[in-house]
Structure 1
Amino acid sequence: MDMCGEVILVTGGASGIGAATCRLLAAAGASVVVADCNEARAKGVAAELPDAMSLVVDVSDAGDCERMIAAIAERYGKLDGAFNNAGITEVSVLNGAPMPESHALPLDVWRKVLNVDLDGVFFCLRAELPLMLKSGGGAIVNTTSLQAHISYPRTAAYTAAKHGVLGLTKAIAKEYGEQGIRCNSVSPGVVDTPLTNGVIHAPEYRDMLLAPIPLKRFATPEDIARAVLWLLSDQADYINGATIMADGGYLA
């Protein structure tokens, strides 16, 4: 894929799916903006890539998202694509503590997950869209999840947030398609990333999570990144408001 001359933003770009996507975008010729709350890791990924910049952003802060886009406009003058990928889970907020039942989920955990995973996507979109309109259009991909379609016990916050992102993706696709902006989402299945590694390889979960996957393996970050690259590219220029199930056949 030839993405030379395009400027693409990746949030959550410092590790996992985000970092893999940054590397594929750069290999396709894009100028990549690596945005993450972890400054050191974001700088590390950007340092690997030609004509890349790193930005520190807390996507749950609308002002931070506005400042992120202002920095992109200052350096590149445009924005052709965005991968709104930053996210967390209840497990990451609880720092490995046992997952409570939903009626006992601390309200601060609920709020934190919704702030990052749903509000954060909207705050990014709200900041990105004006610069994309000024740039003459573009492509957006939001990270949803297998849990935008189904759920697991004790994941109420994450499930609610990802269902919300799925609806938000459709709303943006409907509203901005006529103005040359496509908005789609990718729904990863079980991906082996730093965010999930401690859970999916735990003896009590591994076999249960592998059983419904016909391919009998967990996804790699690169598996998901290739789907994102396609959705951002001109090869997907008639795909709008869609969700790519990158789940190895889990929901089949």
Structure 2
Amino acid sequence: MHLSGTHACILGASSDLGMAIAHTLADAGIELTLSACSEQGINRITLAFPAATILKLDMKEIAQYAMTDRASELDGIDSPDYLIDCMQTDFEAFIAGAESSDVTSYMETNISGRAACLRHISRMMLGKRFGRCIFISSTAAALPNAGQGFYSASKLAGEALYRSLGVELGKRGVTSCSVRLGYVQSGRGTDFLEKNPQTTGRIPMARAVTAQEAARSIAFLLSDDAQMINSTTITMDGGLTACK
């Protein structure tokens, strides 16, 4: 596996999956810019990756700055070759019962903020005529459980943004794809699986994806060998969504 780029930016790097991706890329000699939205997350990635550039990014603020073209924390990102977008805030609610203010805040953070980040970083990639962007989506984009409607909507919106980026910029050396992960043995996924052990019985491979498996697959998708995988969504769920 060969990586022509030397610098990767990981949004939402303090998650278990983000950390696994960061370790995989660091082992490959890639320079890292890592972001988190909380002080706890910043402390976690700082301890694990002391040589990385660490940024605290508030996506809601970034979305608001973008409306007026004001400078934001995004200016701390210095021309990455790769973007891996693991960023996602937690919000589950029934559509009919959700508070309007919570819905607005969630969408502003996870759709408008993401769009502002992608716009900013892809412009830097255009200057080099090289870039690879990967969005971490979820099988809930297509098959949400009750209460996941807003989460599903934000994932579908993210997939649309990344798909369109590859269509628009592929000829200029900037490509993209999304990865729909099923149940992952990390973070909130671990808590859910421990409380619902019957869930793995629905997966043909009878287990969840590990964070390390996902990280290695994402590293491959960044590689030169995967450049023609563009403007599409790949599902990695052990066969879960192939079943009735």
TM-score scaled to structure 1, two decimals? 0.85
* 2:12–2:87 Cα contact (<8 Å) kept: yes
Match of 1:238 in 2: 228
Partner of 2:114: 121
Runs (4 or more) in structure 1 with deviation over 4 Å come to: none
Overall identity of the aligned pairs, in %: 24
CA deviation map 1:167-190 (0-9, x unaligned)? 222211111111110011111101
AA of the residue aligned to 1:71: G
Alpha-carbon separation, structure 1, partners of 2:36 and 2:164? 25
Aligned twin of 1:95: none
Aligned residues of 2:175 and 2:230 also touching (Cα < 8 A): yes
* Contact 2:4–2:224, Cα closer than 8 Å, also in 1: no
Count of equivalent residues: 237
Aligned equivalent of 1:109? 102
SS of match in other structure, 1:150: coil
* Stretches of structure 1 lacking an aligned partner (at least 5 in a row): 92-98
Q: Does 1:151 align with 2:156?
A: no
Match of 2:76 among 36, 56, 71: 71
**Structure 1 residue aligned with 2:56:** 56
Indicate how the Cα distance of structure 1 residues 107 and 46 shifts in structure 2: closer, same or farther if over 3 A, else same.
same
1:206 to partner: Cα distance: 3.3
Q: Call closer, same or farther: CA 1:3–1:46 in 2, change over 3 Å.
A: farther
Contact 2:33 2:52 in 1 (8 A): yes
TM normalised by structure 2 equals: 0.87
Matches within 5 A, 1:165-176: 165-176=158-169
Distance in 1, Cα, partners of 2:176 & 2:18: 17
Q: What whole-Å deviation, never above 9, does each CA across 1:172-223 have from its counterpart, x for those lacking one?
A: 1111111110011111101132233333322xx331x323211111222222
2-structure distance, mates of 1:113, 1:195: 18
Code of the residue aligned with 1:90 in structure 2: it is: F
Give the match for residue 212 of structure 1.
202
Quote the RMSD (CA, aligned, Å). Answer: 2.2
**Shift in Å, 1:108:** 2.9
| Inter-CA distance 66–148: structure 2 relative to 1 (3 Å threshold) | farther
CA contact (8 A) 2:134 2:179 kept: yes
Give the gaps of 5 or more residues in structure 2. Answer: none
Cα separation, partners in 2 of 1:120 and 1:247, compared to 1, 3 Å: farther
Q: CA deviation at 1:29?
A: 1.0
CA distance in 2, matches of 1:56, 1:184: 25
Q: Distance in 2 between matches of 1:48 and 1:221?
A: 16
**Kindly tell me: are residues 51 and 135 of structure 1, through their superposed partners in 2, closer, same or farther at Cα, counting changes over 3 Å?**
farther
Shift of 1:39: 3.6
Distance 1:61 1:232, change over 3 A: farther
1:22 partner amino acid: A
